[in-house]
Structure 1
Amino acid sequence: MVLPSGPVLDASSAFLLLVTVLVFLLPLFTYFPPVPPSQRDALLETHSPIGLKPGDSGLQSKQRGHVEANGSSAKSMSGGKLKAHCEIRSLCIYPVKSCKGIEVRQSKVLPTGLEFDRLYTFAQLKSPFPLGVQATDEEKEAHKWEFITQRQFPLLATVQVDLYLPDAIKANGRSTKVSDAFLLVRFPWQEPGLRGALSWVAAKIARGRHAQPEKELLLPVAFPRPDEIEARGYAYEQVTIWRESVTALNMEADLPQELRLYLGVSNRLGIFRIDPDRLRPVYRCAPTVDEAGYQPVTGFQDAYPLHLLNLSSVRDLDGKIDKDEAIRDLDPRRFRANIIVDSGDTPYDEETWKKIRFTPGPSSKRGASTFHVSCRTVRCKMPNVDPDNGHRHAVEPDRSLRKYREVDEGARHKGCLGMQLTPLFDETASPEDMESWVEVGMCVEVLEQGSHFYIPQ
């Protein structure tokens, strides 16, 4: 007996059915992508990220030979002079030391530098041999935590850091108050096998065809409370920054193991939060307590609260570098400055400054901010790292810096570019008094000029 058979789809019918299903599902995938929610998605419900989009960057015209005048012609009443055509072109903060920075249009200035700058640093438990996760207490005591940067691990340049601040409009109507700010740290990571393939597909669906799978780490901006420290298993430990040691909060309990593997750190990896009550005092070339009205301090910055860079000086050095496929132009982001100015046709003019004031334009609501120009910035090989891909050039710009920029008697056989700043405030009686603002477009008013002599750490 032959059983009746149902209709059989031919190839064209099957193709038509497949197209119909895809057309039906495509809008659903667009508005409701079939990917697990990320921490970024959750943050966007109540927070907004700060920072400029790449197209709005003040460094887009970094190779331009001059800066147009902004119409300001103010003079300092204390005898200072306004540098013609010299203005702030860009402001950058680096919440996690040596990771990607965030370009902003304006920033609050605190004694430690720009707000949110260098709150965290990665560190490795340094030893002659790698220390395992299950190490004994005796083994741990023989090791010490040392900060790490792109100097040792250039892939830190590819670790993205986003700062999310509470958004009152988004949080309106919610039952719980939203007041905490967060840092979202992201780095490329794809698991092997099927799980990795699915994460690759999910990244493309969620963020576009150029997106890659990522791993996320959420960090609080505010210093954790004692109960949070105990509950999360954080610990106060000594961490070394160059030749200084500071007691900071080790939050390695939150670190994904994949980050250590991605960076290529063989030792134990930690992440430290600077304690606002245990900041590092700054001496050497910084103003004294009598001069500044307070003891200059810093967090996880290398040595001084802020770093200033002049685009005119970068352009001059750019013309001296031997270019190749790996370095076609000298990107100012390589130098990781906080305040980037442009003095037009006068490179290295900043090296004559001893005290400056940034003055706002007539449309600004901000007041002026004053800084002590403490010393030159002595350069290591870190600017050799490409800020986009983390590739380290074999020689440049370090070779050219040492050849053309050995200009400080206190830093023999080293290249210098940029200046270190210490904030000055009109009132220093209380922490609330010690605040000012800087914003893009402010002009540079030189109050005092003189020479510099670098004092090493």
Structure 2
Amino acid sequence: MDQNPDTALRSGPVIDATGLFLLISTITVFLLPLFIYFPPIPPSQRDALLETHSPIGVKHNKSKKKTTTTTTSSSKTAINQLWIYPIKSCKGIQLTSSKVLPYGLEFDRLYTFAQLKSPFPLSTNPSEKNQQKESWEFITQRQFPLLATVTVELFSPDPVKARGKPLYSDANIKDSFLLISFPWQESGLGGVLSWVAAKLARGRKAVPEKQLVLPVNFPSQGEIEARGYEREEVRIWKDVVSALNMEKDLPRELALYLGVSNRLGLFRVDPGRLREVHRCAPGKEEAGYQPVTGFQDAYPLHLVNLASVRDFGAKITKDNKLEQELDARRFRANIIVDGPEESNSPYDEETWKRVAFETEETWKRVAFETEEGKKATASFHVSCRTVRCKMPNVNQDSGFRHPVEPDRSLRKLRDVDEGARLKGCLGMQLTPLFDGGKLESWVEVGMKVGVEERGEHRYINQ
């Protein structure tokens, strides 16, 4: 007897809803580990750098908010933290040690962002006369607080990695590089895919971002010509310096993210055209060389005492927009010192005129060797107080700018310098001093503070 066609169809293999669910579940369970350990996303610029380089610095723990209460185990005031800011006003890099050069800590403030200021509306066709009035002016978190969320990493060549063949790195393995990252998500499907890729690559809290790689070394003349960089003048406060504009490397999204409506430039300090430092700094006769600086505000280094930050922070009226224990990172210091109360009273640093950071035992390191049987020291002229602006109002994790604090309290409670009336002061500006003919020294976390000279300070305006 012939079989009914309908019966034949029903008797064939049938996958019901339960079977389909089991099939999908099986495939998902099998593929999920592969997606986790081998996410199907292209390598980032950071991945490429990691093939031949290693990041330099201490990984900062954002969850550890009590940065102002960290103390040393020593019975003396000592260096508690070291920070460099390779790109002015962007996130800093915390170090355990650093070379000290005439312009400050090595790699500090190599770059700055600047905007082109013009006397005429951008929508008009400017005359040649007005074009000559255009000028580049540096920008900071004072105007664009989201700079605080632009991450900067320093990558140094790794000899061990360099022995192997990099998979997808075309970086020169002998050079150091900066990696700049900032949050950015495109609209539409591309943005959704970038959001998924970020989660797969860096965890559930990760967000999409754009990246940019910059050289640490000043470009050669051949590289300048090949890339189309231009030497232009940029204003840093009242100083006008000639520097290398590398804006051609900037992604367009950065200006949009920061909220910069003018033309955005990226300037690399020219090591042969540093700014001379005068005012409160020691002269050439006293220092043994002419003090200079790069894109720092005024002096080569900035020091903050955690005891002073704690004391001042305790006097501020807090709200839910300001952390209960004021974060010392708001003050953007290179050297942060701390110690027990008996050796480190608040604002004691304002009486220092000359200090030396010294190890308790003899040492010998590859990067900076000392003679056997001799302690390593780094000496500094304590040039003046640091006159504060509104930049400490910016939260260094979120980029949120508090409308009034701590600026209001600084002006009220820290109006302490006869040369800077009605302005708040916190921290001290330093100028390096060197022994012998070699213009370099070394600082390291844990080095003890030796106050060699004390005296009065009076700020001199620029």
Residue 350 of structure 1 is matched in structure 2 by 349
Structure 1 residue 229: deviation in Å?
0.6
Equivalent positions of 1:60-99 (< 5 A) are 62-63=68-69, 67-69=72-74, 85-99=76-90
Change (3 A) 1:128 1:402: same
Look up the equivalent residue of 1:355 and give its one-letter code.
R
What residue identity is the alignment partner of 2:115?
A: Q
- Counterparts in 2 of 1:314 and 1:48: CA distance versus 1, 3 Å: same
Match of 2:198 in 1: 203
Cα RMSD (Å): 2.2
* Aligned residue number for residue 278 of structure 1: 273
Matches of 2:269 and 2:443 in 1, distance apart? Answer: 23
Alignment check: 8 A CA contact 2:67 2:328 kept: no
Alignment partner for residue 449 of structure 2, among 441, 444, 451? 444
Listed as ranges, the matches of 1:340-419 within 5 Å are 340-345=336-341, 346-362=345-361, 364-365=363-364, 367-419=376-428
1:154 equivalent to 2:145? Answer: yes
For 2:35, the equivalent position in structure 1 comes to: 29
2:99 is equivalent to residue 108 of structure 1:
yes
CA distance in 2, matches of 1:132, 1:276: 37
Residue 365 to residue 280, structure 1, CA distance change in 2 (3 Å)? same
Offset at residue 53 of structure 1 (A): 1.8
Describe the superposition over 1:94-128 as per-residue Cα deviations: whole angstroms up to 9, x where unpaired. 00000000000000000010000000000000124
Which residue of the other structure, out of 331, 340, 352, is the alignment partner of 1:335? Answer: 331
CA deviation digits over 1:70-103, x for unaligned, max 9?
5xxxxxxxxxxxxxx2000000000000000000
Assess if the C-alpha contact under 8 Å between 1:57 and 1:103 holds in 2.
Answer: no
Contact 1:132 1:267 in 2 (8 A): no
Q: Which runs of 5+ in 2 are unaligned?
A: 366-375
Partners of 2:67 and 2:327 within 8 A in 1: no
Residues 130 and 97 from structure 1, CA distance in 2 versus in 1: closer, same or farther, beyond 3 angstroms?
A: farther
The alpha carbon displacement at 1:56 in A equals 11
- Contact (CA 8 Å) 2:68, 2:325: kept in 1 or not? no
8 Å Cα contact 2:119/2:133 also seen in 1 = no
Q: 1:420 aligns with which of 410, 429, 435?
A: 429
Structure 1 stretches lacking a partner, 5+ long: 71-84
> Take 2:383 and 2:190, find their aligned partners in 1: how far apart are those partners?
52
Alignment deviations for residues 127-156 of structure 1 (CA, whole Å, 9 cap, x no partner): 245647998976643310000000000000
Match status 1:10 vs 2:16: yes
What is the aligned counterpart of 2:222 among 221, 224, 227?
227
Measure, in 2, the Cα distance between the counterparts of 1:333 and 1:120: 20
1:248 alignment counterpart = 243
Whole-angstrom CA distance in 2 between matches of 1:372 and 1:13? 78
Contact 2:52 2:161 in 1 (8 A): yes
Distance across 1 between alignment mates of 2:74 and 2:393: 33
CA drift of 1:25 comes to 1.4
TM-fit CA distance, 1:13: 1.0
What is the rounded CA distance, in whole Å, between the counterparts of 1:138 and 1:212 in structure 2?
45
Q: Report the AA paired with residue 454 of structure 2.
A: Q
Equivalent AA in structure 2 for residue 333 of structure 1? R
Identify which range, 4-13 or 24-33, moves more after superposition: 4-13
1:119 matched to which residue of 2? Answer: 110
The residue that corresponds to 1:45 in the other structure is 51
1:305 matched residue in structure 2: 300
State the alpha-carbon separation in 1 of the partners of residues 195 and 160 from structure 2. Answer: 34
Residues 148 and 399 in structure 2, CA contact (< 8 A), matched pair in contact too: yes
- Higher-Rg structure is 2
- Is the 2:68–2:326 Cα contact (8 Å) retained in structure 1? no
After superposition, what is the alpha-carbon deviation per residue over 1:326-368, rounded to whole angstroms, capped at 9, x for unaligned?
A: 1122100000000000143300000000000000132643611
Relative to 1, partners in 2 of residues 1:227 and 1:57: Cα closer, same or farther, differing over 3 Å?
farther
Residues 423-434 of structure 1 mapped to structure 2, 5 A cutoff:
423-428=432-437, 433-434=438-439
Question: Could you tell me how far apart the structure 1 residues matched to 2:65 and 2:405 are?
Answer: 21
In 2, Cα distance between the equivalents of 1:233 and 1:140?
21
Q: CA deviation at 1:31?
A: 2.6
TM-score (norm 2): 0.90
Q: Corresponding residue for 2:208?
A: 213
C-alpha distance in structure 1 between counterparts of 2:164 and 2:358, whole Å: 40
Check whether the contact 2:97–2:443 (CA below 8 A) recurs between aligned residues.
Answer: yes
Query: Take 1:383 and 1:353, find their aligned partners in 2: how far apart are those partners?
Result: 23
The residue number in structure 1 matching 2:461 is 456
Identity of aligned residues (%): 66
Partner of 2:257 in structure 1? 262
More off after superposition, 252-261 vs 141-150: 141-150
Paired residue for 1:182?
177
- Change in Cα spacing, 1:164 to 1:451, as seen in structure 2 (3 Å) is same
Cα distance between partner residues in 2 of 1:426 and 1:370: 8
Could you tell me how far apart the structure 1 residues matched to 2:255 and 2:19 are? Answer: 52
| Per-residue deviation, 1:36 | 1.6
CA distance, structure 2, for counterparts of residue 116 and residue 58 of structure 1:
26
Q: Contact between 1:131 and 1:268, CA under 8 Å: does it hold in 2?
A: no
Check conservation: 1:97, 1:300, Cα contact below 8 A.
yes
Rounded to whole Å, the distance in 2 between the matches of 1:418 and 1:143 is 35
Matched residue of 1:54: which SS?
A: coil
